[in-house]
Amino acid sequence: MSDNNNIVWHDTNIKREDREALLKQKGAVLWFTGLSGSGKSTVANAVEKKLYEASRATYLLDGDNIRHGLNKGLGFDTKDRIENIRRIAEVSKLFVDAGIITLTAFISPFIKERNDVRGLLGDRFIEIFVDCSLEACEGRDPKGLYQKARAGEIKNFTGIDSPYEKPVSPEIIVQTDIKSVDECANQILQYLNTNGFI
């Protein structure tokens, strides 16, 4: 039996607006989604570097790195993938409340889970579709994962034997098989600037 009925939200004196005023920016989540090898982490890293150089407070949550700690023990079947994204959404919400520009690089293959994150974060959720063809991603294969998936050594691999559901109307689309990393990063910075996040 859950004891949630005995848990009461404790309001704090310092609010998100106070933290944002201190940092001179708006907390937001830049949610990078796309196939493995599409360039999510690479572009996210480039964006964070540019934001840092502009004296902005940021934090990058990378899919592989998170699975070394917070989401250690989660597998890659549908149930664990959903839980992986749910946890990241809750962590991201805390960062947004802190006024931090948070960058998340996760395949996050399912539309429903990404929409759930959007529901949690509202207008602070910025979905960035890192659009790159399966052929290009597989050609890059920086970690050798596609090769292992094709050989049957990895099960439930997105794009091979597990689906990837493309975003329907993301805020930003970056085409990493056409544009350079720097061009993609600048496109995202322009969006943040135009929409008053920085």
Binding-site residues from annotation for ATP? 34-41
Annotated binding site: 34-41
Strand-pairing partners, residue 128, are: 32, 172
Strand-pairing partners, residue 59, are: 102
Catalytic residue chosen out of the listed positions 108, 162, 169, 180? 108
**Pick from 62, 94, 66: nearest CA to 80:** 66
CA distance 187 to 87: 28
DSSP string, 45-72: HHHHHHHHHTT--EEEEEHHHHTTTTTT
Torsion sign (Cα): 147, 151, 155, 159: positive
Helix (H) or strand (E) holding 184: helix 181-194
Active site residue 92: no
Residues labelled as active-site residues: 108
